[in-house]
Amino acid sequence: MANDTELFNKDGVIAAMNKMGDIFSNIAKTYNDTSVDITTALSSPNQAMWGSGADKLLSAWDSNAPLLDDFMNTFENWSALVTGTVNKFGNLETETALVKDLDIENIAKVAEQYRSSWFKTDAAKKTYIGGSYTMTGEDGTEYTINKSLENGLTKTYTDQNGNTIKEVYSLSGAYIGKKVTSSAGTKFYNKKNEESDKNYSYESPEVRRAKESLEQTAKTVAQKKEEIKKAKEEAKARLSTVVGEATAKYSDEVKRAIESNVSENLFMTVTEEKVDGNTVYISHLVMNDPSQLEKIIANGGYNNGRETVSSMAQKAGVVWAVNGSHYDLHNGSTQDYNNNHIAIVNGQVVHNAGRSLGMEICYTRDGKWFTAPKGASAQDLLNMGVIETYSSLQMPILENGQVTRAANSAEVSEMNKSYNRTIIGQTASGEIYVLTGYTTTKSAAEYLRSKGCVWAKSMDMGGSVTLYANGRVINNPTDSSGERPVIDGIGVKA
């Protein structure tokens, strides 16, 4: 008997249990760290790593998710395995200690503790089976006695009627109840031998604590899995928006931008580029909601004098702005009505001098820029969804993706001179590019076309040209007095 116990490596079992606990703790920590990484990446939208870092993180998640999901889908089996290990450890711990103290002579004493009448002390009839004792009673009935931390002490035998009886005791020997299985079915009885609907069992505090620890670990891992799943879904939702797509697509642009503002609903960069050999500023704007772009107006009202772009921008709370309409410099407050008959502000007609001459720059509620059709009435423009117009002195330099006559004809040689300009362009998908600086309209048209623009047109030029972003004026206005007051501008909110 004593030699049998040497087959059990108690220290090895304890080490295995500790290792298993470390593994599950590491799993929970890994899920937590991954959740923090994704959350950190997604909450740092102004950093260049949003586009590349978060995208790579999500790609890495996608490639590894099946392995993690497979593990989590079988977590209950792991939990059961570990629980079984705990229970088996309980058996070994109990039986090793028990066998060390027992020999053939004192088995009868142990039997007497739980009812000596169950056993004979004939050594030939006693066998040790991994935590179980099988013995033959005085009436010739064979009994199996199991003792473990999980199940307490159980006695299993077949009575004279052929029924299988399983009696349950605590480790101290207190009777708990029994299960009787017969050809008619299974019945349960409490310690008073009264029939009950409860399947009586015993579980030691040690096993209960081990199981509770495993259950808590499982809950923690499952919670972290849900957090990562939610973060992943939110990230994919962001990437599914036009701003999200732009953020992922133009991550390198963010890195080299001199100014940027990237959030859930806005992608904005300002970069320095060479056009006509001159350094110009290129603003790139993508918005989820077209209403983020609005007209900023001098002194808060149409025909209410002039104000600098930076002052209007700060009052309106926009993060990006440029100068807008051409105006009568001598009058100082009105738009160019000789060439622009219609003025619309926030969806309201504020000036109507007849049908359009085809010069007004129009912006619609769904975010589209275009030039007013020649002969269109103010009502026609409203019917087209126009909510803002800006007066202009030039024909569009890009139409339907083609450089227009006004941009490359010798008949408009003045327009082909290098001049300080603000030119707005739009791609077929709705992205906005704004060029600010010295260039010819022909070169500007070709550059904007290279960025995918299908339409482009000049705003006011010369000393009015002002680019504002993230609280500061980016360019150097050419007026000797600095930033020139103008009548309106284009502003974009985050």
- The residue ranges of DSSP E strands in 206-365, in sequence order, are 259-262, 266-275, 278-287, 293-297, 320-323, 342-345, 348-352, 361-364
> Distance from first CA to last CA of the chain, Å, rounded?
80
pLDDT of residue 469: 97
Nearest to 358 by CA among 338, 341, 342, 372: 372
Computed over its alpha carbons, how large is the radius of gyration of the chain? 41
Residue 56 or residue 430, greater confidence: 430
What is the average pLDDT value for the chain, to the nearest integer? 75
* CB within 8 Å of 460: residues ≥ 6 apart: 323, 324, 325, 326, 327, 392, 422, 486
Residue 221 or residue 297, greater confidence: 297
What are residue 6's phi and psi, to 5 degrees? -70, -15
Query: What is the rounded average pLDDT of the residues 148-174?
Result: 73
Q: What is the pLDDT of residues 213-235, one digit of tens each?
A: 667 766 776 777 787 777 777 76
Q: For residue 270, what are the CA distances in angstroms to 152, 276, 436, 448?
A: 74, 18, 10, 14
Ramachandran assignment for 346, one of left (phi > 0), alpha (psi -120 to 50 degrees), beta (any other): left
Which contacts qualify for 14-19: CB closer than 8 Å, 24 or more apart? 14/89, 16/85, 17/85, 17/86, 17/89
What are residue 358's phi and psi, to 5 degrees? 80, 30
**Span of 90-104, 250-264, 273-287, 310-324 with lowest mean pLDDT:** 90-104
pLDDT of residue 228: 73
